[in-house]
Amino acid sequence: MKKYLLFPLFLGICFTLSAQDMSESDKDAFFIKDIFSTALTEGQGNDWLMYLTKEIGGRLSGSPGAAAAVEYTRQMLDTLGMDRVWLQPCEVPHWVRGEKEVCRMVSERMGSVELACLALGNSIGTGPGGVSGEVVPAMSLDEAEELGKAGKLKGKIVFYNRPFDQTRISTFAAYGGAVDQRVYGPTMAAKYGAIGAVVRSMTNKTDDVPHTGSTVYRDGHECPAVAISTKAADLLTEALKHEKVKVFFKTDSKNLENKISYNVIGEIKGSEKPDEIILVSGHLDSWDVGTGAHDDGAGCVHAMDVIYILKKLNYKPKRTIRCVLYMNEENGGAGAYAYRDSSDLKKEFHMAAIESDRGGFTPRGFTVEGDDSIFEEKFKLLIKWMPLLEAYDLSIKPGGSGADVSKLKGQKGLLFGFLPDSQRYFDYHHTAVDAPDVVNKRELQLGAGAITALVYLLDKYGLEY
């Protein structure tokens, strides 16, 4: 009689079991163990990520890097033996940083001090002369609006300086509590006559690395804007305690004409229920500084590795498994809209859509959301097989999915966000240091294993109630 070794969990406890004794859940446990072992020993994600980051580099929408990433990942998907691989066009903005930014604070007491800075994505440039003005600090949009209404921002440079709340265990929660300053701070400043905005970088860390990211102008209120490092922000804060301070900064950024770019898509057709789609995804574009290793090279190679691992294990899905590498998550979401519109038009049904866009760190589980009309019932269906993931210290909890897949909410499937450990993510997010050396190979591989395990369970058990 053939003997199986039940997969050794956390404590290394093993025992044996004959084949006919095996329950469905034991079979699942074995297959999930195979998934993780394949991810850890044969996964291709790290190699793909090295190419994306070291050979291609930054991949901002409209850039040659983005185009190279589209072609490279299309070729890689082509090698995986999927039923179909294609490019889906979308029209993307084409913002360019131009010449390296300069930012300097000038005070009588301290003289002129350089501040490490990056122009914000989508922001207009200052022109070659730069902008110079007195600094008005504001800890929130509300405070800026009050100052604006009192006429105190006219001709000034607004300094948004509210730091991350370090007591939030999830750094994404801390980011969520601060990022409104970057997104809507500059337009608020411009609305009340400010000539520029300086934003404290979105990070937990105190260092000299500035973090870029999108800003959004509303109602035509535009002014140039930079993020400065947290150390620079602390220095500026200190200087403002003693005297009036001016800031000079110069940015060369501009929005060029829109470009055509692509989502890269591949699929394995389901053998029994091909109309129920399970989507795995990351986004191909990244900021221009750094090489988008965690954001979101990691997510792309996670999604690609799901396909690789399932193929390697010779798994024939009942449902259609589709891998989507979205374009333009960072500054517009054009890829996600194009995908959603096309999918809705074809009356497709995404039973589940999984996004990996929180980095390539050790997996902790998934957050999941869905349309109110279906969420509670469908969530209950996950509970029966959740212990299979909990054996790997992975949980599934209600929460947001991601900027790309959340656009599919109208199709009334479940939308998952892969949730890795969050502590280091904002050390690198949108910076020059989001580079291949800060990704740990095993942590990345475990992420691919976790997502593949979820796909397997969703495919096997479906979401019918």
DSSP 52: I
DSSP 233-279: HHHHHHHHHHS--EEEEE---EEEEEEEEEEEEEEE--SSEEEEEEE
Strand order in the sheet with 254-268: 84-96, 254-268, 319-326, 273-283, 349-355, 414-420, 363-370, 395-398
11 binds a copy of itself (CB under 8 A): yes
- Per the CB < 8 A criterion, the answer to whether 424 and 361 are in contact is yes
Q: Among the candidate windows 17-25, 289-297, 318-326, 389-397, which touches a copy of itself by CB under 8 A?
A: 389-397
For residue 136, what are the β-bridge partners? Answer: 158
Helix (H/G/I), strand (E/B), else coil: 167:
coil
Q: Which of 176, 193, 274, 462 binds a copy of itself (CB under 8 A)?
A: 176
Q: Which of 22, 37, 104, 222 binds a copy of itself (CB under 8 A)?
A: 37
Both tokens assigned to 358:
């929180």
CA distance 414 to 376: 10
Could you say which residues in the range 307-336 bind a copy of itself, by CB under 8 A? none
Q: Among the candidate windows 53-61, 64-72, 229-237, 395-403, which touches a copy of itself by CB under 8 A?
A: 395-403
Q: Which of 40, 183, 386, 433 binds a copy of itself (CB under 8 A)?
A: 40
- Cβ proximity to a copy of itself: between 68 and 403 the closer is 403
Q: How would you classify the pairing of strands 117-119 and 131-138?
A: unpaired
Could you say which residues in the range 285-304 bind a copy of itself, by CB under 8 A? none
167 binds a copy of itself (CB under 8 A): yes
427 binds a copy of itself (CB under 8 A): yes
Query: Which residue bears the tokens 């095996």?
Result: 22
Helix (H/G/I), strand (E/B), else coil: 32:
helix
Q: Which of 362, 433, 460, 461 binds a copy of itself (CB under 8 A)?
A: 362
Q: Which of 64, 387, 398, 410 binds a copy of itself (CB under 8 A)?
A: 398
- Cβ proximity to a copy of itself: between 168 and 273 the closer is 168
- Cβ proximity to a copy of itself: between 228 and 439 the closer is 439
Q: Which residues bind a copy of itself (CB under 8 A)?
A: 8, 10-12, 33, 36-37, 40-41, 166-171, 173, 176, 204-205, 362, 364, 367, 392-393, 395, 397-399, 421, 423-424, 427, 440-443, 446
